[in-house]
Structures are given as structure tokens and as C-alpha cells.
Amino acid sequence: MEIGIIGLPNSGKTTIFNALTGSDTATEAFSSGQVEVHTAVVAVPDPRVDALSALFNPKKTTYAQVTFNDIAGFGKGAAKAGLAGPLLNAIAANEALMLVVRAFEDENVPHPDDSVDPARDITVMEGELLLSDMAVIDRRLERLASMKNRGTPEERKVMAAEEELLQRLMAALEDETPLRDIELSEAERKSLGGFGLMSLKPLLIIINQGDDDDERAVAPLLDARTIALRGRLEAELAQMDPDEATEFLADFGIDEPGLHRAIRRSYAMLNQQSFFTVGEDEVRAWTVSRGATAPEAAGVIHSDLQKGFIRAEVISYGDLMDAGGMAEARKLGKLRLEGKGYVTDDGDIMSIRFNV
């Protein structure tokens, strides 16, 4: 699961990257406008994993993971100039995007538009995503127009269907509607997979505030896809040892590190959920798409488990914790056997029975 971090120059996106990942990447490195990517893999914070680990005392505890890619070079005017090569590839490789917009004042860090206005910057950057997609679709429509009289009748039928879809998407973009807000079938989404359409990707917006800023100052901008973080403060927090960090959080009235909120929101926007495997050797969280069947979840663990899937022994996290242990849960009849058609729930604890 990879998330690309984008934003205008001096928005503090590398500071947010450091806060999210515990890195100490130099923020000056991204002032040149060159295409550069910094990458870090982080554990998805999940108190359920902590509780299961305390219950089973395993030799190893493994959290689900997410990869953040801090991408430089995509800002105001980039789409109009035409995206190509390394920059387009760097952004297209991500399953979702995180847009960092600036809300902090700092006379030593000039804003490219000479004033701080997060609402304006959100509009500007979302407009860049739309313009990029329009350019991609326009080129493809021109290509299809030149091929109308070629190929077999079946190939022409496929091209006609693609042209109709792209024209529908272009109309939405011209109406300033991101493609992620367009209803598309699974087949249509699959057919668009190779286009690198940016506004089709899920988007999480981070409003980067100053150390002493109050979240209420940007309240009108906050919604289901927007989080406010005090980026520099969070980056400092990420470098501290746990005890010092806890005291630091209390002093600033922060309930939990912004990393936790941002990763959970990122996880949710990608339509992901966690299931667990437990035992004396390891307690582990696995990532699977919502709606995945038990065999598909088994395949996340190992392809052989999906290939030879027979049954899954399943118990919900809540039922296990209420029972106080696996033996007690079994006595209470809380464990159940599920077949190939079972759709996994977030928090399922699974043991796979298979034969290859």
C-alpha cells in the first residue's frame, strides 16, 4: 500500500513525511523543484495488535505496513507544462495521494504565492490533478480517433466503448469533478489502470499548521478527507523516545501522534481492513481489501493457502477479548468454521485449513 505525498514548494510536505515516518529527511532537499522521491515504510498503529500481543505473548509481533513516498517537483503549473517521465511515473506508482497544504506563517519560508491561504492552495493543487488527467485523456482520444477505421469489428467495438468512457470522464473533468467522484464499474476502473489518472486516486489532504496554531482556525476546511496537523511539532515528536513523547503530547494537549490519525485515515480511504493471525510464535496483522473472501485473505498470507483452501476458523477480535483467551472462546462456542464464500470482516482472527 503506497501513498504519494505531494504539495506546493514550502508547504512542509517533507516535514509531514518526517512526522509520519519518523525520518529526519532534510527539508531543504526539496526546494529545487527537481524530481526526487524519499520513501519510508511504517507500521500501521493498531491497539488491537497490542492487545493480542499482550494476550498471547508471542516471540514476534508484526503490524500491517504502509509506504509513504515524498515526491518533489509537482506543483503549480506542472500539469500545464506537461507531466512526463520520472515525475509522472513517481506519482502514478502510488495507490493514493496525500496533499499537504500550508497553513503556517513563517517569514523565513516564503510562500510561492506570497501569502498563506490553504483553501486557495487546495483548489490550485486539485486543479493540477484535473489538468493532468485532461491532458492524458485528450491524447488518448486523439489516438482513438486516428484508429477508428482500423482493426477487426470486435476491436472497433472495444475502441468505441473506450472512447465513450473517456468522453464521459473528460466531461466530468471539464466540470471540475475529480474522477474519484465518478461512478465507475470494476471493469471500467480496470481498463483505466494504465493511464496514470491522478484525480482517480483516493486523496487525503493534510493541512500543515504551526506549532501554536489551533485546529479551529481551519475548521471550515476539515471534512472526511482532510486532517489538520502541526507538522513541525509532530516531526519532533516522532524523533523522541516513547516516554518523552507521552509527556510531550500531554504538554501540548495532543491526544495521540498525528501519525496514528493520518495512517488510519489513509488505510480507510484505500478501502483496506485488517485481519489477524495469532499464536505463540507470532501475532500479525494482515491487510486485505474490504469485501475480500476468506480464500483471498488466505492468499495474502501465502498463495498455497488460497490454492488449497478448505475452511477458515474465525473469531472476531471483540469475541476473543471478551472471552479472555482462545480456549475460553472455544468453550463458549465463539469460534466458527467458514467456507470459500465467507466475506472477511475487519478484526477477524483467522486460522486457515488447507491442503495442497
Q: Which residues pair with 351 in a beta bridge?
A: 313
Average pLDDT over residues 113-130: 93
Lowest mean pLDDT among 101-105, 153-157, 302-306, 318-322: 153-157
- Tell me what pLDDT residue 227 has: 93
- Tell me what pLDDT residue 97 has: 95
- Tell me what pLDDT residue 31 has: 46
**pLDDT band of 79, cuts 50, 70, 90:** low
Average pLDDT over residues 37-58: 93
Domain ranges for the chain, please list them.
Answer: 291-354
**pLDDT band of 149, cuts 50, 70, 90:** confident
CATH of domain 291-354: 3.10.20.30
What tens digit of pLDDT does each residue of 290-306 get?
999 999 999 999 999 99
pLDDT at 89 over 90: no
What tens digit of pLDDT does each residue of 177-211 get?
999 999 999 999 999 988 989 999 999 999 999 98
- Tell me what pLDDT residue 246 has: 84
Summary mean pLDDT of the chain: 90
User: What are the E-state strand segments in the chain?
Assistant: 2-7, 37-43, 60-62, 65-71, 96-102, 203-209, 226-230, 272-277, 282-289, 309-316, 336-338, 348-354
Instruction: Retrieve residue 50's grid coordinates.
Output: 497490542
- Tell me what pLDDT residue 267 has: 79
- For 264, counting Cβ atoms within 10 Å of its Cβ (0-12 exposed, 13-18 middle, 19+ buried), the class is middle
What tens digit of pLDDT does each residue of 250-262 get?
887 777 787 788 8
Lowest mean pLDDT among 4-8, 140-144, 151-155, 341-345: 151-155
What contacts 24+ positions apart, CB below 8 Å, involve 258-261? 258/19, 258/20, 258/227, 258/229, 258/230, 258/234, 259/19, 259/20, 259/22, 259/42, 259/45, 259/234, 260/45, 261/227, 261/229
**pLDDT band of 29, cuts 50, 70, 90:** very low
**pLDDT band of 96, cuts 50, 70, 90:** very high
